[in-house]
Amino acid sequence: MNIKNKIHTKLTTINDSIVSNLIFTFIKENNISYSENKNGIFFNVSLLNDKLASELLEYINIISKTNNISEIDQIIVPEKKKPMPKKKKENKKYKDCEINTLESTILSFSFQ
């Protein structure tokens, strides 16, 4: 399998955003032409010269190994906590008020 096919297969298996961002930084630093849209960043691997392709493959291998932390290690299992008792809502007691017709009309608009 040639270098460019290896790059393609490595890139299709990468799911880590940190590794993807590092690869994108490599692409920008080496002036590799790319296009960008809402789905991601795209560049043509077949247009790379052999030296740059081998450097990119070596870079991908290095960062994939150093940033490859097991997902099982990243899972945080919460401790079982006792459920907190629910607070009882107190019923509010309102005072009876005497209101005139104007106040009654004004208040009627707030309930529509």
* Structural domain count, the chain: 1
pLDDT of 67 over the 70 cut: no
Q: Per-residue pLDDT tens for 1-13? A: 588 888 888 888 8
The answer to whether residue 18 sits within a structural domain is yes
- The whole model's pTM is what? 0.55
Look at 32-41, 82-91, 103-112 and tell me which has the smallest mean pLDDT: 82-91
- Contact between 44 and 64 under an 8 Å Cβ cutoff? The reply is no
Give me the domain span that covers residue 64.
3-70
The per-residue pLDDT for 96 is 83
pLDDT of 71 over the 60 cut: no
The per-residue pLDDT for 62 is 85
pLDDT of 77 over the 70 cut: no
The answer to whether residue 55 sits within a structural domain is yes
The answer to whether residue 98 sits within a structural domain is no
The answer to whether residue 9 sits within a structural domain is yes
The answer to whether residue 85 sits within a structural domain is no
Whole-angstrom distance, CA of residue 112 vs CA of residue 103: 15
Burial code of 47-85, b = ≥16 C-beta within 10 A, e = fewer? ebeeeebeebbebbeebbeeeeeeeeeeeeeeeeeeeee
The answer to whether residue 81 sits within a structural domain is no
The per-residue pLDDT for 73 is 52
The answer to whether residue 8 sits within a structural domain is yes
Whole-angstrom distance, CA of residue 16 vs CA of residue 67: 9
pLDDT of 32 over the 80 cut: yes
Q: Band of the pLDDT at 69, cuts 50, 70, 90? A: low
The answer to whether residue 7 sits within a structural domain is yes
